[in-house]
Structure 1
């Protein structure tokens, strides 16, 4: 975009990469009523992948992507669908076939997805799906119905079938009208939306074990909601339209010759990815459990596909992955993976709302940490040295540590009610005892509600049985 075209635009965020991916993200950002950099970047990646996923390959793999964006209700997730619709509409006059790349807004069955791809002259499409996180959960569930289980199998295969020479095998159903022939290297890109609370409360190890979640680029935003943008850029800049039209033309040219354009790596990028591949294997081999091991799987391929996509967006005629592309992609993928692993390690995922056993385990964890670790860690939670020395903790300490966890935050009683219930359960079980207020005031100078473990060794043994030996 030229300086004149950006005169009414917001400053381009530093997180946007150079080239078409960043330019599309910038337009989505400027066209949004409530601009959000993370949402816009995810949309830019999905848009370019939705067009280029089949026409370009890196290391034998196509560049299609599964993208999931998590943001609170009202944060502006709809800006991606709206921005992409505006961009495709504006580019239609220059390249009418761009309309072929837009896929369905809902995926309900494997036969339906088969048929949609099979009918396309070039099997490439972008689908924008609401509540994709809950859809992942439904597909990975042990009790998933036939449609969801079949759809999951198809999505698993499609992620890696967009490379030159790959074939999506013919389907055979009892209903002959649902049957299709083989599809040569189809490319499906998904941009999915979701709300963090509902996604993480539904997330479990099964979603990782199925192999689908490790294939997903997971963008979560905690950016505060900005004031409404009263100067929205409702029409894409001419230079952006030209760039999109050029990419579509190149992709159609490659489709006509039935040959994908291989994206090479320059010397520095090659060395970077060689080191990164070793790093990914080391992280997978050294993972503490199956869930983290699964999340490190396919790390290098995800980053490689993303880096190549950035290169294509920068130069669709002669793309080459540079060291900067490699570093941008690997850093993003590692950051996303570590963030998700952190959620598991902190107990912030799973079917936790109203789960009293989970709530008790979290309270016990906080108590044992309080007993075993130095006082300095707990001063920020309002603890005092006399309290800590005697292993006396307050309800306020527990609330400050636990209220934001889904196990408490999502409980029907609210975090306060859930914590009171968990404390009462521990009191009833004889694991902790409450200190009389007069005693607490006299000995510790506090009127806060105070408790003390009844038997520290027993408490710690009980915790380890609940949450494993790594505590």
Structure 2
């Protein structure tokens, strides 16, 4: 066949290429998007003859392929509605396996959607819909993503309107069972149709918040329960994707609008393709399915308004699912809010856990977050210049605990001083940042130090206002020391004098505390992008806990024995350990290495996304995530076993999950508090005040008082926000009076966020 002949009939040429590639190919109608034959079932059992092919493709204007076993286990993911979910699906697949996405063959369809082609290692499952949606302008459930497998067909390039965008249709990749699971699970996670009683057997709740179970379903932290029991959050947002315990990749369930929907058949005690309310999740995981015990426990924790004897269990014992339409999601900022770190992520075995327990047992106002920050800072100091991971990451950390006044910020600091003093390391303790030179001088004398200070927000405020060069110098030194832990730092040279020397592998650990509103008020875009914000692990403490009677208790021997072991630890050989130690390498096993690589790739993808959007804050923060993850995994390992530490799967998984949560929370809070102008700052304050309201709605008078500004300026501000569509103003009657209420528009974005 000549080149001229090929150019004259591209449909016929393509058809024969596909036949040679092992597909079952049929002529098609481009307008109907279907085969032109009256019946083609027989061609699933036997191939067409050469004569049939010649007749068909000499005049056909389009071509299609039968999917399934007859075409070599061909399967196609079909993204409808103009490919609305395609980019998000790509992001999710890329999080699990970046290389997998590059292997796929992608075709644009006639309607602007996408077809993703691949072959299966085993026989292709029957075609079924994976994701549906409810379109505002269309009643009923509309396909969003579906598979074209056994029994289906797909239109192909060069049919009118169909173009291959990536790869070659005659050279498809073959997916293993696990690889296909990643693709299909990712598609399943975009299902926007909430299961109903008619869809699947579901259990019932009454949405009566006076009952503990219903109250928990409204305001309980189901994500913390899932994390505690080994589930891992893969993708946050309105439609969260979760990976079951024991699985390293792929979406096993989604959490959206108060419905935990499980896809996996290996996620006991949950059943596959079933919806669960938050209370059902709590009951199954925390109480083995004993809903009566779960109800009593929640009632004792303050959920519900009825007493235990008044609790009606009749609606619970069927299994607690969902009825009625889901509530509309509240207005959200551009970045989803993961909330403060759950207590389940503050659990570290061994030394850190022991120090936390003693701190909580003796503190006048026990606070798990502050206890964790103090304990991890203490271990980071004890192990400084003594251990490292295979990537030469060290234990130096900068931690910031955010808590209100009199919430117990000083107790973990006092405990650290007591332990270090008794271990013979009192010279390692610093209190205030006098100057950058002072920090250098201290590290020159004692290369591993812990600075504990309550003045971080004041320092940041002074830097923001640019009225204290001393603090600018402190900040510059902190940035430099953080990155110098695995090298030699030359000290400053004064004019006309000899160099005072060097600091060998300085290990500076900072445990700072600040009042939350003072800290966030001090942040500026310059502060967020100079690297200091990204180096800080910010831990928010929430409300002050219930106090307890003070008591005098000696630090347990289990803690002091480990502290003294670290104090006497001699890395390296000979007499060089004091000024030039060779830290012991703590290895990671294969499972941990895989998780840490996954964490690095995830951070790199997020960095790239921020880079494409010219988001300087995002690139700064995501650029430090890999390093932070590995530091924490190292600390987990030496806490669990100080004598023979190994970075294992538990250490890597914990570090990755905690750092990812803290990073997303940092970026959310930055977007909610940092603006490019005074007006934009006031806009962010309005958004924050409304979000704090239970129903995401606030009366005019209450918001005016909360904003603490002149009525005329407030009126102009709100008029601007309403006109721009950020805020919706509604007239409502309350107690016989009509007044204006404000709520966030669902499409509202934090104006001027950095």
- Which residue of structure 1 aligns with residue 655 of structure 2? 329
Superposed counterparts of 1:264-343, under 5 Å = 264-287=587-610, 288=613, 289-343=615-669
- Which residue of structure 2 aligns with residue 100 of structure 1? 427
Q: Which has the higher contact order (CA 8 A, sep 6+)?
A: 1
* Residue pair 2:348, 2:636 contacting (<8 A) in 1 also: yes
Q: Secondary structure at the match of 2:558?
A: helix
User: Are the structure 2 counterparts of residues 441 and 38 from structure 1 closer, same or farther at C-alpha, using a change threshold of 3 Å?
Assistant: closer
- Quick check: 111-120 or 248-257, which moved more? 248-257
For residue 33 of structure 1, report the CA deviation from its aligned partner: 0.9
For residue 361 of structure 1, report the CA deviation from its aligned partner: 6.9
Selected match of 2:399 from 34, 49, 67: 67
Q: Secondary structure at the match of 1:17?
A: coil
For residue 88 of structure 1, report the CA deviation from its aligned partner: 2.7
- Which residue of structure 2 aligns with residue 248 of structure 1? 567
Which ranges of structure 1 fall in alignment gaps of 5 or more residues? 1-12, 370-377, 383-394, 409-413, 433-439, 453-458
* Residue pair 1:67, 1:191 contacting (<8 A) in 2 also: yes
Selected match of 1:221 from 535, 538, 541: 541
* Residue pair 1:201, 1:350 contacting (<8 A) in 2 also: no
Selected match of 1:86 from 398, 406, 418: 418
User: Are the structure 2 counterparts of residues 427 and 172 from structure 1 closer, same or farther at C-alpha, using a change threshold of 3 Å?
Assistant: closer
- Quick check: 277-286 or 179-188, which moved more? 179-188
C-alpha separation between the residues in 1 aligned to 2:602 and 2:701? 38
1:173 and 2:483 correspond: no
C-alpha separation between the residues in 2 aligned to 1:415 and 1:239? 49
User: Are the structure 2 counterparts of residues 40 and 149 from structure 1 closer, same or farther at C-alpha, using a change threshold of 3 Å?
Assistant: same
C-alpha separation between the residues in 2 aligned to 1:203 and 1:365? 16
User: Are the structure 2 counterparts of residues 29 and 253 from structure 1 closer, same or farther at C-alpha, using a change threshold of 3 Å?
Assistant: farther
* Residue pair 1:264, 1:320 contacting (<8 A) in 2 also: yes
For residue 62 of structure 1, report the CA deviation from its aligned partner: 1.6
* Residue pair 1:48, 1:309 contacting (<8 A) in 2 also: yes
Higher-Rg structure is 2
Q: Secondary structure at the match of 1:127?
A: strand
- Which residue of structure 1 aligns with residue 458 of structure 2? 134
User: Are the structure 2 counterparts of residues 211 and 151 from structure 1 closer, same or farther at C-alpha, using a change threshold of 3 Å?
Assistant: same
Judging by fraction of residues, say which structure has more strand. Answer: 2
- Which residue of structure 2 aligns with residue 391 of structure 1? none
For residue 421 of structure 1, report the CA deviation from its aligned partner: 4.2
Q: Secondary structure at the match of 1:126?
A: strand
C-alpha separation between the residues in 2 aligned to 1:469 and 1:100? 43
Q: Secondary structure at the match of 2:673?
A: coil
C-alpha separation between the residues in 2 aligned to 1:361 and 1:246? 50
* Residue pair 1:88, 1:99 contacting (<8 A) in 2 also: yes
For residue 381 of structure 1, report the CA deviation from its aligned partner: 4.9
C-alpha separation between the residues in 2 aligned to 1:428 and 1:40? 45
CA RMSD of aligned residues (A): 3.7
Superposed counterparts of 1:293-442, under 5 Å = 293-345=619-671, 347-349=672-674, 355=678, 358-359=681-682, 380-381=695-696, 396=699, 403=703, 414-415=705-706, 417-418=708-709, 420-425=711-716
Selected match of 2:553 from 214, 218, 234: 234
Q: Secondary structure at the match of 2:626?
A: helix
- Which residue of structure 2 aligns with residue 157 of structure 1? 480
Judging by fraction of residues, say which structure has more helix. Answer: 1
* Residue pair 1:307, 1:326 contacting (<8 A) in 2 also: yes
C-alpha separation between the residues in 2 aligned to 1:250 and 1:276? 31
Q: Secondary structure at the match of 1:191?
A: strand
* Residue pair 1:30, 1:233 contacting (<8 A) in 2 also: no
Which ranges of structure 2 fall in alignment gaps of 5 or more residues? 1-342, 724-730
C-alpha separation between the residues in 2 aligned to 1:111 and 1:259? 26
For residue 28 of structure 1, report the CA deviation from its aligned partner: 1.9
C-alpha separation between the residues in 2 aligned to 1:173 and 1:302? 34
User: Are the structure 2 counterparts of residues 40 and 381 from structure 1 closer, same or farther at C-alpha, using a change threshold of 3 Å?
Assistant: closer
- Which residue of structure 1 aligns with residue 471 of structure 2? 148
Q: Secondary structure at the match of 2:538?
A: strand
C-alpha separation between the residues in 1 aligned to 2:753 and 2:409? 41
Show CA shifts across 1:307-356 (max 9, x none): 101211222232211111111111111111111211233x334699xx56
C-alpha separation between the residues in 1 aligned to 2:721 and 2:524? 32
User: Are the structure 2 counterparts of residues 328 and 430 from structure 1 closer, same or farther at C-alpha, using a change threshold of 3 Å?
Assistant: closer
User: Are the structure 2 counterparts of residues 176 and 441 from structure 1 closer, same or farther at C-alpha, using a change threshold of 3 Å?
Assistant: closer
C-alpha separation between the residues in 1 aligned to 2:688 and 2:456? 33
For residue 67 of structure 1, report the CA deviation from its aligned partner: 0.7
1:19 and 2:350 correspond: yes
For residue 71 of structure 1, report the CA deviation from its aligned partner: 0.4
- Quick check: 200-209 or 265-274, which moved more? 200-209
TM-score by length of 2: 0.47
- Which residue of structure 1 aligns with residue 504 of structure 2? 184
Q: Secondary structure at the match of 2:569?
A: helix
User: Are the structure 2 counterparts of residues 251 and 425 from structure 1 closer, same or farther at C-alpha, using a change threshold of 3 Å?
Assistant: farther
